[in-house]
């Protein structure tokens, strides 16, 4: 729709009269769904088009917005005299216009994820690349000061601007600081005494050099050495090559789900890039984590000998540099790279499609995997969702071609099961695991111990009365950090000192329960005092300098034992270890999340993949209290469908994704009574206005576990629906009604479609 309008407008722009009055609807990057109409200055009527970035007055501010429509007619109820005028086109070589396909993509995201369209504008043009602007006094303005014709109400602001030859930054006139100065800017601009101009790049860079020392850009820094020998990648199946050729030749959207180990995925990715290039198409590769994306870009460079661009986060200069000159043919990055302004996109590859980091935590809370599919529809591209352990949503996607490639049994490690139910209570390292570690250390072999719980213990408990310390804001049990000597909430960050006695019974027997990696490190040091140990979790990796040193030690093999959480698997693959101990395979099951078993299975596969093949002495010792669980049995037998089939059956019976779609609704505010009232009304509104055939189920409201920033209260609802479009439309209408009812009460309504953290 937008594409057709844009083409028609461009054809008509050449014959557009210079003196014709035009009106532009501009989208503002705020939490606003509607557009605002502005007059188009005669000086830019021939250059403005749909997708142009423009500078406009908005209240007391000057913002950069996006033109979404242009017309020579105005609605009768809108008098032209009430309209403000566009100040200027954004003369920025990096992102002066947004393509119609990306503009249409942002509209679809706003509709599906129940977000204002204006809020989706930041996805296409992040705030940082927008050039700062300056107010500069014109010759007419200086003459008005000299001749005394400037009114007293305007004189102070005009004098302040004229005092500097280069003018002043518009950001210095923020309403919170100088409201009176902001109010007189419009009259000064209307009289042509002041003009708004973009700051020069040299000026901005000079100011930055004064504030911060120069550092080597991340893109130019040496990347970690690829641990996979790209020369040893398997040959690509000719069937895959022929199938890709047909997909690119057809020139229409194709969705492929690839379930394969890492080497097979890399070989197929390289072939897909070659095929796309042969058809003069660009490629976008999306990863969940920045470190993994940088490493993947390095692997592709060494594998293909091409200029593979690694897209930095949106606010960095390197992210914008790829717009200069010849557009790249391959760009690799995290979730925001799916919006890269590339022409002729033929392939979008989502690596690790189940990664929760692909979900944007802020509005519009999109999932890059689903946005990749939407963009592929806009660009008629091939989209590949690839992983070694697919999400259930992709595994059972009826609209996709699913390709399963099993791992070669000859390179699988030996997996040994230890039933913790038959071990003594409190066993952290079983006798079999201790013996394996002792043997490995004796032969100078490497050991990895995996436990997906950081800290010393999950919490403390009074042995006499059962009291557990809880966060006063989040109501959750406080984890025990022995090294810091505190109880720290992992939601809001609040910390408490260790209690000397129980506040209920005044007993002194406060015992830790639920082991964490810190306790594993302490016990391992005690049992193997001569071993060098490295612990990798969010506590030890918090500081960049320390994290870099720890990762280098883990990758180089200079330590005997590596202990870690799921943080081990967020970067490039670790070098293989001879003994991998999974200490409590079922620890992640005891959380309030229907995806708990799925995440557990993914982590078990990641941990097992770090071991050498059985032929090279690789052993995986898996300790669990649930040896019959389908995730454990699927890993031991090497049959993934055993897990997926049983898990899908359970999801279907309980009506959870992928059997349906869900939306997580949150009501927040400072007034608890209003929050409870609004959440109850929201649930009632959804239930009363839902037709029987739409099959929408509303659960809640309930109190939401988690942090309460600045004392805000939370109430949560969960909505299930079989048709995602109907569910999104119903939620959009409901949110609009609720926001109208509570417009003056500081109540916030949050919608998270297809949440990945639903506990």
Please compute the mean of the pLDDT values over residues 566-588 and round it to a whole number. Answer: 89
Please compute the mean of the pLDDT values over residues 155-161 and round it to a whole number. Answer: 86
CA distances from 134 to 131, 398, 480 (A): 10, 54, 52
- Asked if residue 40 has pLDDT above 50, the reply is yes
HEC states along 383-410?
EEEEECCCCHHHHCCCCCEEEECCCCHH
Please compute the mean of the pLDDT values over residues 140-160 and round it to a whole number. Answer: 86
Predicted confidence (pLDDT) per residue in 8-26, tens digit: 444 444 444 555 688 999 9
Q: How confident is the model at residue 231 (pLDDT cuts 50, 70, 90)?
A: low
**190-202: burial string, b at 16+ Cβ within 10 Å, e else:** ebebbbbbbbeee
Q: Give the least confident one: 206-220, 305-319, 531-545.
A: 206-220
HEC states along 620-652?
EEEEECCCCCHHHHHHHHCCHHHHHHHHHHHHH
Share of the chain above pLDDT 70, in %: 81
pLDDT of residue 80: 78
Q: Say whether 661-753 and 409-455+516-647 share the same fold.
A: no
* Distance in angstroms between the alpha carbons of the first and the last residue of the chain: 39
pLDDT of residue 132: 58
Instruction: Classify domain 661-753 at the CATH class level.
Output: alpha beta
Q: How confident is the model at residue 757 (pLDDT cuts 50, 70, 90)?
A: confident
Q: How confident is the model at residue 385 (pLDDT cuts 50, 70, 90)?
A: very high
Share of the chain above pLDDT 90, in %: 36
Please compute the mean of the pLDDT values over residues 413-426 and round it to a whole number. Answer: 88
Superfamily of domain 2-124: PriA, 3(prime) DNA-binding domain (3.40.1440.60)
pLDDT of residue 110: 93
- Asked if residue 217 has pLDDT above 50, the reply is no
What is the C-alpha separation between 263 and 266, in angstroms, rounded? Answer: 5
Please compute the mean of the pLDDT values over residues 524-542 and round it to a whole number. Answer: 89
- Asked if residue 507 has pLDDT above 50, the reply is yes
pLDDT of residue 206: 41
Radius of gyration of the chain (CA): 29
409-455+516-647 is a CATH 1.10.10.10 domain: no
594 closest CA partner among 363, 358, 391: 391
Across 220-234, 307-321, 490-504, 582-596, the highest mean pLDDT is recorded for 582-596
> Could you give the dihedral angle defined by the CA atoms of residues 32, 34, 35 and 36, in that order, rounded to the nearest 10 degrees?
-80
pLDDT of residue 92: 59
pLDDT of residue 758: 59
Predicted confidence (pLDDT) per residue in 725-739, tens digit: 999 999 999 999 998
Superfamily of domain 230-404: P-loop containing nucleotide triphosphate hydrolases (3.40.50.300)
**Mean of all residue pLDDT scores within the chain:** 81
Given a contact cutoff of 8 angstroms between Cβ atoms, the answer to whether 133 and 55 are in contact is yes
pLDDT of residue 473: 63
- Asked if residue 352 has pLDDT above 60, the reply is yes
pLDDT of residue 303: 82
What is the C-alpha separation between 511 and 506, in angstroms, rounded? Answer: 14
- Asked if residue 397 has pLDDT above 50, the reply is yes
Q: Give the least confident one: 100-114, 128-142, 219-233.
A: 219-233
pLDDT of residue 513: 65
pLDDT of residue 137: 87
- Asked if residue 109 has pLDDT above 90, the reply is yes
Please compute the mean of the pLDDT values over residues 559-565 and round it to a whole number. Answer: 92
Q: How confident is the model at residue 196 (pLDDT cuts 50, 70, 90)?
A: confident
Given a contact cutoff of 8 angstroms between Cβ atoms, the answer to whether 73 and 20 are in contact is no
- Asked if residue 157 has pLDDT above 50, the reply is yes
- Asked if residue 511 has pLDDT above 60, the reply is yes
Q: Where are the domains of the chain?
A: 2-124, 133-198, 230-404, 409-455+516-647, 661-753
- Asked if residue 543 has pLDDT above 60, the reply is yes
- pTM for this prediction: 0.80
- Asked if residue 251 has pLDDT above 90, the reply is no
Q: How confident is the model at residue 220 (pLDDT cuts 50, 70, 90)?
A: very low
- Asked if residue 410 has pLDDT above 60, the reply is yes
pLDDT of residue 260: 92
- Asked if residue 485 has pLDDT above 80, the reply is no
Tokens standing for 741?
């009812």
Residue 668, beta-bridge partner list: 714, 748
Beta-carbon contacts of 126 under 8 Å, excluding residues fewer than 6 positions away, are: 314, 315, 319, 336
Please compute the mean of the pLDDT values over residues 634-658 and round it to a whole number. Answer: 93
């Amino acid at each position: 729709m937008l594409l057709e309008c844009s083409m028609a407008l461009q054809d008509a722009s050449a014959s557009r009269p210079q003196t014709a009055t035009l009106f532009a609807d501009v989208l503002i990057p705020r939490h606003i769904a509607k557009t605002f109409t502005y007059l188009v200055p005669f000086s830019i009527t021939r250059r403005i088009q749909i997708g142009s970035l423009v500078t406009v007055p908005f209240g007391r501010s000057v913002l950069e917005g996006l033109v979404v429509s242009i017309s020579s007619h105005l609605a009768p109820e809108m008098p032209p005299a009430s309209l403000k005028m566009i100040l200027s086109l954004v003369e920025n070589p990096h992102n002066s216009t947004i393509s119609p396909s990306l503009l249409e993509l942002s509209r679809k995201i706003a509709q599906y994820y129940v977000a204002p369209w204006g809020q989706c504008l930041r996805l296409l043009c992040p705030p940082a690349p927008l050039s700062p602007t300056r107010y500069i006094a014109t010759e007419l303005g200086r003459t008005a000061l000299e001749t005394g014709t400037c009114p007293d109400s305007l004189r102070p602001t005009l004098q302040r601007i004229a005092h500097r030859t280069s003018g002043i930054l518009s950001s210095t006139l923020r309403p919170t600081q100088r409201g009176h100065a902001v109010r007189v800017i419009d009259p000064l601009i209307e009289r042509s005494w002041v003009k708004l101009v973009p700051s020069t790049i040299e000026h901005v860079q000079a100011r930055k050099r004064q504030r911060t020392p120069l550092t080597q850009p991340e893109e130019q820094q040496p990347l970690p050495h690829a641990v996979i020998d790209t020369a040893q990648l398997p040959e690509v199946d000719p069937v895959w090559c022929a199938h890709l050729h047909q997909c690119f030749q057809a020139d229409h959207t194709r969705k492929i789900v690839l379930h394969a180990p890492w080497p097979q995925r890399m070989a197929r990715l390289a072939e897909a890039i070659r095929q796309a290039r042969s058809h003069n198409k660009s490629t976008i590769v999306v990863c969940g984590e920045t470190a993994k994306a940088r490493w993947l870009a390095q692997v592709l460079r060494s594998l293909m000998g091409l200029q593979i661009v690694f897209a930095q986060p949106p606010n960095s200069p390197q992210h914008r540099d790829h717009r200069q000159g010849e557009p790249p043919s391959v760009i690799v990055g995290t979730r925001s790279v799916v919006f890269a302004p590339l022409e002729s996109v033929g392939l979008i590859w989502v690596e690790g499609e189940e990664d929760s980091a692909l979900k944007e935590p802020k509005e519009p809370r999109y999932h890059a995997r689903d946005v990749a599919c939407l963009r592929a529809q806009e660009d008629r591209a091939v989209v590949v969702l690839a992983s070694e352990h697919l999400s259930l949503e992709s595994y059972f996607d009826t609209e996709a071609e699913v390709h399963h490639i099993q791992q070669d049994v000859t390179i699988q490690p030996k997996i040994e099961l230890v039933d913790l139910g038959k071990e003594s209570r409190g066993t952290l390292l079983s006798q079999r695991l201790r013996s394996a570690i002792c043997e490995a250390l004796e032969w100078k072999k490497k050991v990895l111990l995996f436990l997906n719980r950081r800290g010393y213990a999950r919490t403390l408990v009074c042995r006499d009365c059962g009291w557990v310390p809880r966060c006063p804001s989040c109501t959750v049990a406080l984890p025990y950090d022995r090294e810091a000597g505190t109880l720290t909430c992992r939601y809001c960050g609040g910390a408490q000192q260790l209690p000397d006695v129980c506040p209920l019974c005044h007993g002194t027997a406060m015992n830790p329960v639920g082991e964490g990696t810190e306790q594993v490190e302490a016990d391992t040091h005690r049992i193997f005092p001569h071993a060098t140990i490295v612990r990798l979790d969010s506590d030890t990796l918090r500081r960049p300098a320390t994290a870099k040193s720890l990762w280098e030690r883990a990758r180089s093999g200079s330590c005997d034992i590596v202990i870690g959480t799921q943080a081990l698997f967020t970067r490039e693959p670790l070098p293989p270890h001879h003994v991998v101990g999974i200490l409590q395979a079922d620890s992640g099951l005891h959380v309030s999340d229907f995806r708990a078993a799925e995440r557990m299975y993914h982590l078990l596969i990641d941990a097992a993949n770090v071991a050498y093949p059985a032929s090279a002495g690789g052993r995986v010792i898996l300790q669990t209290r649930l040896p019959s669980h389908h995730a454990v049995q699927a890993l031991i037998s090497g049959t993934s469908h055993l897990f997926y089939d049983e898990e899908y059956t359970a999801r279907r019976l309980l009506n959870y994704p992928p059997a349906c779609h869900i939306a997580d609704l949150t009501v927040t505010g400072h007034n608890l009574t209003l929050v409870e009232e609004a959440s109850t009304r929201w649930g009632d509104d959804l239930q009363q206005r839902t037709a029987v055939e739409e099959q929408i189920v509303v659960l809640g409201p309930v109190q939401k576990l988690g942090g309460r920033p600045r004392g805000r209260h939370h109430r949560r609802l969960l909505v299930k629906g079989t048709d995602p479009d109907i569910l999104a439309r119903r939620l959009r209408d409901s949110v609009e009604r609720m926001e109208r009812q509570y417009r003056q009460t500081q109540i916030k309504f949050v919608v998270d479609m297809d949440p990945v953290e639903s506990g």
